[in-house]
Amino acid sequence: MSFLALERVRKSFGGPAVVEDFSLAVERGELIAFLGPSGCGKTTVLRMIAGFETPSAGLIRIGGRDVTHLSANRRAIGMVFQAYALFPNMTVERNIGFGLKVAGKPKAEIAARVTEMLALIKLPDLARRYPHQLSGGQQQRVSLARALAPNPQILLLDEPLSALDARIRVSLREEIRALQRKVGVTTIFVTHDQEEALSISDRVVVMNDGAIEQVGTPSDIYNRPKTRFVASFVGTLNTLEGIIADPAEGAIRVGDAILFASAPIEDAKAGEARTLALRPEALRFGRTGDGANALAVVVEDMSFLGAVARLRVRLDGKPLLVDVFNAAGLALPQPGETVEIAFRREDLIVLDEA
């Protein structure tokens, strides 16, 4: 049995549902990222898990126990907010120990746990400081320590890094992942940042309009998106419109070319329109002769992005992006040239809907 289970959860605030038919099973110790645009319902789901909102329908179970209508203070949940939510009139050590004090723990136990948490977040020398004396990254570490101090069953993080600058965000998300693995707490991480979701999680739940679009490992979500929304929301993407030529052979016609997927196209019929997707880094210049797909394109221009050079090419009037890894002596086709781009059958993504 899954440690955290949401079964056909629905939430409405009096109008149309903001979360609809949401079902998810989370194993003990997993870190799951909820990824989606603003307003897609991910924070509402998080608040229902926490007990701050009650589902309009459906069940929520933690450790096999039905907690759907259980109050937040009876769920043993740790919560980290986007805005830190530290008590400004309390020192770091008092903030971390606050939940333990409310629970009536002995002073000696609180002091020992606070010392342990300060060491865990690598801020042992800042115990007597107040929140306004800390950087944003330090405040978020303290917020994380406060949430972990009472040994919660589940840790919930609601866009905890969005208020930080880019460099600190990268550093702190690595620390959060390391801490989560060390303590082994089941964690839900809400974000609209695809890089955060892919880098930090065991599995990603991609949401759109209050529903789940796809659940999978970061690799599955990026390399094998099932819908147009997932493919376009996660990573940079090229899309082509094709016509199924032979579903059993995985053959799709694009203009005058026939492209092949790596497997038969399930639930498809000859003549059916399908959207095809290609990642820019999957494309390379020149025919390889190894059975790869190939398309003739015209080069338009190039942007240098440091690690890669990004070329914009045109296929029958449609723009495509090609990312080439930057290396010494790199020779690239020039604007105006007609060249071939090739890609493996495995890299051609055939989406579910046309």
Dump pLDDT digits (tens) for 52-71.
999 999 999 999 999 999 99
Mean pLDDT across the stretch 89-115?
Answer: 95
What are the pLDDT digits (tens) for 14-37? 889 999 999 999 999 999 999 999
d(CA 309, CA 326): 6
Confidence of residue 351 (pLDDT cuts 50, 70, 90): confident
Whether residue 353 has pLDDT greater than 70: no
294-311 tens-digit pLDDT: 999 999 998 888 888 899
Describe the crossing of helices 136-148 and 107-120 by its angle, rounded to 10 degrees: 130
Question: What is the reported pLDDT for 341?
Answer: 94
Give the pair of three-digit tokens for residue 260: 């092949």
Task: For tokens 């890094």, name the residue.
Answer: 161
pLDDT at 227: 87
Q: How far apart are CA 24 and CA 21, in angstroms?
A: 10
Mean pLDDT of the chain: 92
- Give the list of residues 6+ apart from residue 207 with CB closer than 8 angstroms, or none: 34, 35, 36, 40, 41, 42, 45, 213
Domains in the chain: ranges and CATH: 4-229 (3.40.50.300), 236-350 (2.40.50.140)
**Distance of CA 251 to CAs 96, 130, 263, 284, Å?**
59, 64, 9, 21
Q: What is the mean pLDDT of residues 158-164?
A: 87
Residue 247, classed as helix, strand or coil, is: coil
